[in-house]
Amino acid sequence: MVTCSKCQSDKVRPIGPDYSDFIIYRCSDCGRDSIIWRAKTHSLDSFPAQFWCILGVECVRHSNTPPQSIEQALWQMSGDDWTKMVESLFANTYQLSSTVGVEQIMDIIKKTNTCTNLDFPVEVWINKDFKIKVYK
């Protein structure tokens, strides 16, 4: 949520043009203008193949260690999170979450091709609402 940098009011609205890197908000309580920087995102192009899938992942699928690949992070999602994600991604097709596989979600991640940061842990976007973390 955006709040005023002077009085912390949430009665702020964007003014002026929509710049790609930032937006200027004006507070209707105190009149202060605040610059809100947009989060910059990155593509996944610079990561090696292991970032997507680690060989021998079969034995670590259900491990409690932090996931070291996108595939592993998907296998480790809780059933509730998986269901919510599938319902969001396939909202128009009424696909059952049990019929959607990790490979399908990996294809969606390839198309989204977005992460929040390049340092580990890397936050990988499935879509704008669902993100997973990959650890070193």
Binding site for Zn ion (CB under 5 A): 4, 6-7, 9, 27, 29-30, 32
Kindly state the smallest distance separating residue 10's Cβ from Zn ion, in Å. Answer: 9
Which residue, 14 or 101, is less far from Zn ion as judged by CB?
14
Instruction: Give the whole-angstrom CA distance, residue 111 versus residue 16.
Output: 32
Phi, psi dihedrals of residue 123, rounded to the nearest 5°: -90, 110
| Choice between 32 and 84, CB closer to Zn ion | 32
- Residue 73 C-beta: closest distance to Zn ion, Å: 40
Report, in Å, the least distance between residue 128 CB and Zn ion: 28
Q: In terms of CB distance, is 13 or 62 closer to Zn ion?
A: 13
The terminus-to-terminus CA distance of the chain in angstroms comes to 31
